C-alpha cells in the first residue's frame, strides 16, 4: 500500500443565457464520488483532441501509476479522427463506459484541446448520474465539468490532465482532496510565487458559494446552450491560454451580458498564460486593464492571478463544492469534502 509520501516519491522520480437549475448553492452536496485509495483502478480517456504522440500516452500512464493507481485506457483513447481523438460517438462511449464500469473509481482526461462540448448530447447521462466518480482534468474538460454540475450535481476536479506535469503542489492538492477527503485552504502567499502572473486582490472581502467555472473560452462557448449550471451565489473561477486581451474582453463581456456576474458571490480569475501582446507598437488595453474594467467594480470579492490554469504547479479545485473565498488572503477554503 503506497502512502502519500511514497506516492509523491514515485511521482518525483517520474518527473523529467439559458442556464439549467442546479442544487441550491451552499447546500450540502447530495452525492459524493468515492475517495481514491492506492491500488484503485482509474480510467484514462481522451474526450477532446487526439493523443498524437506515444510519449503523451506513456507519460499519462507513468504519472497515474506513480500515484499508486492502476490506469485503464479507454477503447478509443488512441484513435484519431481529424484533430479529435476518434469520432464523437466513440469518445462519448468511452467516457460513458468508464462511469458505468463498477471497477473504475475515477476518470482522468489524458489531454484537453477541443471536442468535449461535441459529445455532451451523446453521453449516457442516466449512467453518469447514477455512478458519481471524480472526473479529473482541465482546459477543454471544462465542458464536461459544467455539464456534470448541471445535470448530475456531484463534484468533479479541475486539475492537471493525466499527461501533464504532476509537480508537488498539484499532486499534494489532489491527494488531500481526492485521497484524504480533506478540506484544505488553497492558494495564498505560500504558493503564489510558483506560478506566472502575480496575484492581486481587486475587491476585498469574503464570500461563500459553490465553486464553478474553468476555462473562459469553453465557458463562454456554452453560454445559452443549456449545458451550464446555475451560477446563483457561486464562486466563479476562470482561466485561459493564448487569448489576446480583446478576446478576454469579449468573453468577459459575454458573461456580463448573460447576467453571470450579477449572480455570483465572488470571482477568482486564475492564470491567463500568454495572453499579453508583446508588440512594442501595441497601444491597446493590457490584460490587467481588461480585468480591472470587468471585475474591479463588482460588489463581490475578486482575486486575479490565482494558481489555476495552464501553468505548472496548478492547484486541484473541487467543482461543485461549497468554498469560502478570502480575497485579501487570496485563498479558497473548502467547506465540505468532495469525496466520501
User: For the purposes of burial, counting CB atoms within 10 Å of the CB of 204, is it exposed (0-12), middle (13-18) or buried (19 or more)?
Assistant: exposed
Say whether both 29 and 164 belong to one domain.
yes
Say whether both 118 and 260 belong to one domain.
no
Instruction: With respect to residue 299, please indicate whether it lies within any of the assigned structural domains.
Output: yes
- Predicted confidence at residue 276, as pLDDT, reads 84
Question: How many CB atoms neighbour CB 4 within 10 A?
Answer: 16
pLDDT tens digits, residue range 304-337? 999 999 998 899 999 999 999 999 999 999 999 9
Q: Could you tell me the pTM of the whole model?
A: 0.91
Say whether both 246 and 144 belong to one domain.
no
Taking residues 53-71, what's their average pLDDT? 95
- Predicted confidence at residue 20, as pLDDT, reads 33
Last residue of a domain, one of 132, 161, 179: 179
What's the grid cell of residue 266? Answer: 465572488
Model confidence band, residue 27 (pLDDT cutoffs 50, 70, 90): very low
Instruction: With respect to residue 109, please indicate whether it lies within any of the assigned structural domains.
Output: yes
SS3 180: coil
Residue indicated by cell numbers 477527503: 181
Say whether both 225 and 313 belong to one domain.
yes
Let me know: does 245 contact 277? Beta carbons within 8 Å. yes
Instruction: With respect to residue 115, please indicate whether it lies within any of the assigned structural domains.
Output: yes
Say whether both 148 and 279 belong to one domain.
no
Helix axes 4-14, 54-66, angle to 10 degrees: 160
Say whether both 114 and 51 belong to one domain.
yes
Model confidence band, residue 11 (pLDDT cutoffs 50, 70, 90): very low
Say whether both 213 and 167 belong to one domain.
no
Residue indicated by cell numbers 508588440: 279
Separation of first and last alpha carbons in the chain: 20
Helices (H), 205-286: 216-222, 245-257, 260-263
Say whether both 157 and 303 belong to one domain.
no
Taking residues 98-103, what's their average pLDDT? 98
Q: What is the domain range of residue 294?
A: 185-334
Instruction: With respect to residue 104, please indicate whether it lies within any of the assigned structural domains.
Output: yes
Last residue of a domain, one of 138, 158, 179: 179
Residues recognised as catalytic: 139, 239, 310
Instruction: With respect to residue 339, please indicate whether it lies within any of the assigned structural domains.
Output: no
Last residue of a domain, one of 149, 179, 209: 179
As beta bridge partners, residue 106 has: 134
For residue 158, give the CATH number of its domain.
3.40.50.10740
Say whether both 37 and 108 belong to one domain.
yes
Say whether both 65 and 112 belong to one domain.
yes
Instruction: With respect to residue 172, please indicate whether it lies within any of the assigned structural domains.
Output: yes
What's the grid cell of residue 170? Answer: 498539484
Helix (H) / strand (E) element for 203: namely strand 200-203
pLDDT tens digits, residue range 209-246? 999 999 999 999 999 999 999 999 999 999 999 999 99
Say whether both 157 and 306 belong to one domain.
no
Helices (H), the chain: 4-14, 54-66, 88-100, 125-130, 142-151, 168-174, 189-192, 216-222, 245-257, 260-263, 287-295
Total domains in the chain come to 2
Let me know: does 108 contact 136? Beta carbons within 8 Å. yes
What's the grid cell of residue 169? Answer: 503542489
Instruction: With respect to residue 340, please indicate whether it lies within any of the assigned structural domains.
Output: no
Nearest to 96 by CA among 133, 54, 59: 133
For residue 227, give the CATH number of its domain.
3.50.30.60
Say whether both 158 and 196 belong to one domain.
no
Let me know: does 34 contact 87? Beta carbons within 8 Å. no
Amino acid at each position: 500500500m503506497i502512502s502519500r509520501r511514497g506516492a509523491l516519491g514515485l511521482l518525483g522520480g517520474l518527473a523529467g443565457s439559458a442556464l439549467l437549475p442546479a442544487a441550491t448553492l451552499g447546500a450540502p452536496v447530495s452525492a459524493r464520488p468515492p475517495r481514491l485509495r492506492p491500488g484503485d483502478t482509474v480510467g484514462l480517456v481522451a474526450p477532446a483532441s487526439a493523443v498524437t504522440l506515444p510519449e503523451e500516452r506513456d507519460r499519462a500512464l507513468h504519472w497515474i501509476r506513480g500515484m499508486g493507481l492502476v490506469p485503464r485506457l479507454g477503447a478509443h483513447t488512441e484513435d484519431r479522427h481529424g484533430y479529435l481523438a476518434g469520432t464523437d460517438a466513440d469518445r462519448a462511449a468511452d467516457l460513458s463506459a468508464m462511469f458505468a464500469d463498477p471497477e473504475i473509481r475515477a476518470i482522468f482526461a489524458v489531454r484537453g484541446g477541443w471536442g468535449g462540448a461535441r459529445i455532451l448530447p451523446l453521453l449516457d447521462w442516466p449512467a453518469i448520474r447514477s455512478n458519481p466518480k471524480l472526473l479529473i482534468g482541465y482546459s477543454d474538460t471544462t465542458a464536461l465539468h459544467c455539464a456534470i454540475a448541471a445535470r448530475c450535481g456531484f463534484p468533479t476536479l479541475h486539475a492537471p490532465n493525466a499527461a501533464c506535469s504532476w509537480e508537488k503542489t498539484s499532486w499534494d492538492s489532489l491527494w488531500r482532496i481526492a485521497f484524504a477527503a480533506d478540506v484544505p485552504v488553497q492558494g495564498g502567499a505560500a504558493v503564489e510565487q510558483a506560478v506566472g502572473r502575480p496575484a492581486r486582490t481587486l475587491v476585498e472581502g469574503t464570500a461563500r458559494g459553490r465553486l464553478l467555472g474553468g476555462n473562459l473560452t469553453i465557458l463562454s462557448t456554452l453560454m445559452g446552450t443549456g449545458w451550464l449550471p446555475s451560477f446563483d451565489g457561486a464562486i466563479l473561477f476562470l482561466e485561459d491560454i493564448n487569448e489576446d486581451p480583446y478576446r478576454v474582453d469579449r468573453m468577459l463581456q459575454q458573461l456580463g451580458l448573460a447576467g453571470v456576474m450579477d449572480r455570483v458571490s465572488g470571482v477568482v480569475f486564475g492564470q491567463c498564460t500568454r495572453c499579453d501582446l508583446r508588440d512594442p507598437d501595441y497601444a491597446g488595453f493590457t490584460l490587467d486593464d481588461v480585468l480591472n474594467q470587468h471585475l474591479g467594480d463588482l460588489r463581490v470579492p475578486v482575486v486575479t492571478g490565482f494558481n489555476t490554469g495552464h501553468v505548472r504547479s496548478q492547484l486541484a479545485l473541487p467543482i461543485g463544492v461549497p468554498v469560502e473565498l478570502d480575497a485579501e488572503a487570496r485563498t479558497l477554503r473548502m467547506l465540505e469534502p468532495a469525496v466520501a
